[in-house]
Every structure is written in C-alpha cells, then in structure tokens.
Amino acid sequence: MSAHNPASHAGRGAVYQTPVFLGIDIGTSAVKALVLDENGAIVGQSSAPLEVSRPQPLWSEQDPEAWWSATIAAVRALPATTRRAARSLGLSGQMHGAVLLDRADQTLRPAILWNDGRSAAECRELEDAEPRTRGLTGNAAMPGFTAPKLLWVRRHEPQIFARVSTVLLPKDYVRLRLTGERCTDVSDASGTLWLDPARREWSEPMLAATGLDLHAMPRVLEGPQVSGTLTAQSAAELGVDPIPVVAGAGDNAASAVGLGVVASGEAFLSVGTSGVLFVVTDRFRPNAARGAHAFCHCLPGRWHQMGVLLSAGSALQWAADVAGFASVPEAVAAADRRGIGRYTPYFLPYLTGERTPHNDPYARGVYFGLGFETERADLVMGAMLGVAIAFADAQEALREAGSELQTVWLCGGAARLDPLARILAAALDRPLARGAGSEAGAALGAAQLARAAAACPKESHTYSRPAVECTFEPEPGVRALLRERGPLHRRLYLELRSTFQECAA
C-alpha cells in the first residue's frame, strides 16, 4: 500500500481567507482531493495512490482501510490554510463496490470492485429469482453490479454473509468514517441493482432476491443534500474543521456535474481506467437489452443513460507497456507518427470483459492481423482504434434507448491526448469539446455539490461549464477508415464469444 506518498498540485504559499469547498473522489487507482473557491475556480488539488488486488482470475478487490488512509493523505497534502477555509465537503467514488460490515461497522472481507467478474452465474440466478429485475431496475444483471456480488458471497462465503449487517458503496464507507452516518446518494445507489431508479428509493423485491432487507441499506439522498457532519476525530485526522458532508455522487454523475452536464441531451465521453459515454435524460429511459445503464442523476428530477467500457485508458496503458514504451503519451505519439494502414492490427479491448453492448464478463482482449510488418507503434494504434470502435458501439446502444446526444464533452486522463481525441471524434462522428481542467473529473463534481449545498437559495444554484479549450471535429479520412474496420471488429467478437466462455470454464 503506497497511499502515504501523495502528490499535491496546490500552491503551498497561498492563503485562502474566503470560504472554499472540498471534493474527495474515491477512485480505483487513487483518492483525489480538490478545492473550489466561491466562484467555482479550482484553488488546490492533491492525490494519493491506491492498489488493486487480483488474487484470482476475474477477481478485483481493495481493502477499505486503504481508502481511508489515502483520503487522509490526499487531504493532508493540501496546504493547511486551504483546508481550514473549507466550509463543506462532497464525496464521489467508484461505483458498484461491495463493502460488507458487521454490527460493529467492521469490514468482513476486502471490498469486491466494479471490474470484478466472478459473479456471472449469480447474475443469472438473480434474474431467475426475480424475473422483474430489468423492469424494476431498468438494467440487466451484470457482474459489475453490487447485488450479484452479495449472491456470490452468500454461496461461497456463507459464514461471512451471515454476519453482514450493512452493505455500503466505496465512497459511503469513507462517509461512515467521516461522519458516523450510513448514507448514499441516488446516482451511486442506482448501480447496486437494489434501487428502483424511477421512484428513487430502494426496491424491497430486489433486496429480498439477494437475501437482504432495508435494514442493511444506507439512507438514500439526493446529491446536494447534507448527509452529516465530520466527527471531531475525523476532522482532526484530516486537518479541517467539523464541516457538513453532502451526499455527493457516483463518479460518473459527479463528473457530469463538474462539466455542467445537467440538462437533457447533454453528454460527456470519459477515457479513464474504464470508458464512459454518459447522457442526461429528463425521465427514466432504460435499454437493458443492449447493456446500456439507466440510472438516477445525482440532481433531483434527472436521470442518465450510460454506455460503459470496462477497459479504455487501461487498455491503452496495457498496450503501451506490452509494446515497450515508457508512457502512454510516448506510445500515442509514436502511433500517430506511424499512422493507420493495412499494417494496423485489429484489437478487441475487452481485457476484463465488457458491459456495453455485450454484457460479457468472459470476453478478452484480442489482436488480429499481426504480421512481420507489424511494428510496436501499430499495436498502440490498434488499441486506440479498438477503444474508439467500442465507444461507437456504446453510442449506438444509447441511440436505441431513445437518446440523442447534443454537446459532448471529453474528459478523463487519456482524453488529454490529441491523437486519441481526433480518433474518438471520428468514431462517434460528432464534435467533442475538451474543457479547461477537464482532467479534474469526479473530484470537481464532488466539490461543486458541496458548493451547491452552501448556495442560498439552493434552488438558484447553477452548475457552470468549463471554458472550451478546444474542439475536435470528425476527420473524414479517419471516419472512413473506422467505418471500414468496424464490421470486422464486431464480427471478430461474435465469432469468438463462445470461445471466450469455453476458455473461462
């Protein structure tokens, strides 16, 4: 665990006398802390790294205690004067993770994460036990969701399941440590398969199907609602005053708030560890058959649809590592110089399975078309094209659910790479706008929600968009190449689907 080596980007000598608002994002690879001033300007950022444990194939776990240690490290990396000016705190976090607590609020096992694929059989069991699953939740049961994970624990670790008193999501475990309160927000709760998103409350039939009831669930709040106040002990550990903590959001809804993506049709494309194409809707509009997610937005009266790629930026990192490049930016620059040609291999980016549109935990990454002419830069270009085509597939699933995307913002660490951004614009056949500070992501949205909670009157609060840094238009030549490659990319998956399952058996 290396969470005690934070990297801070705040000005060490700055003193903030005016109120500021703190956002904390519990990610998969790091905990990030971000501070906004009264005008919504970023005045400090810091982070502390996290590690993922993969003790068996398909498994992905983290120790919840590591989130708490990293949270303290990230916040403590901010200047003390900045921390002491904080007036409220917002939380965001990786979705779907299962944190199991006993009656004393002690963790019973490592948290099972969003990209864990062990519970495919339990997904079928859940839909058999409650045939109304897709109608009640608007989503197909997938191994990434929380409910199937509990069925897996019930079957394989019955002694642990028998001791479960409370189930929390990752950011809500940190909230418990901060405030002593068991709460969540509607956007994060939507990713459990226990929430009825249309009514924005827990579904008792879905809980019963996993052997749980309402007593095991935290209170559900809207994102800007106050969930509690820092305890004296947690405030001292963070080095802040005992300030209010708002409900916050799952990482994707928080990212949307940070980008001002709050009205129907507004959208963003995120290239982080995973990939997300997110669009706001004014009502609950599911399309479970194509693996699209339909969740509550973290703001009252709003929902969203989402196409999810389990490997996006992580697929590019993997390709860069395998090809021997020192970094992803170096690899992408080399691939851009090499260009796209007949020597560019096809790549299925399903390194840990896939959600949209395949809902296939057994899918795996594949290179096709390698030859003696293939160079290491071609491996990276193939990965870039494969991720872009996967995003195009996700966009089609959202269209089939009735969504028409309007302005699409580009965010996430890998989205800072211009060659990739141009390819993504061509794959989606639409302009992509990159905003200043777009890499801030979910921590920015968490801070915006904390700022909204302090607004008076709250109803007048607006979520501002970042200034447009640049816009990437679809390039006709790249668009034509992707349209030519797309059909074979999709056929490769269909022809290999049964083979993936045989290899996993």
Catalytic residue set: 251
Report long-range pairs for 414-420 (Cβ below 8 Å, ≥24 apart): 414/271, 414/272, 414/312, 414/313, 414/316, 414/328, 415/269, 415/270, 415/271, 415/439, 417/328, 417/329, 417/332, 418/472, 419/332, 419/333, 419/335, 419/336, 419/384, 420/271, 420/316, 420/332, 420/384, 420/388
Which of 246, 240, 249, 250 is closest to 228 using CA atoms? 246
CB distance 380 to 325 below 8 Å:
yes
Region of 58 (left: φ > 0; alpha: ψ -120 to 50; beta: rest) is left
466: preceding bond cis by omega (within 30 degrees): no
Strand runs labelled E in 385-492: 408-411, 432-435, 468-472
First to last CA, the chain: 33
Q: Cα separation of 259 and 309, whole Å?
A: 20
CB distance 164 to 100 below 8 Å:
yes
> Which residue blocks in 241-375 are alpha helix, DSSP H?
251-258, 313-322, 328-338
CB distance 347 to 367 below 8 Å:
yes
197: preceding bond cis by omega (within 30 degrees): no
Pairing of strands 86-93, 20-26: parallel
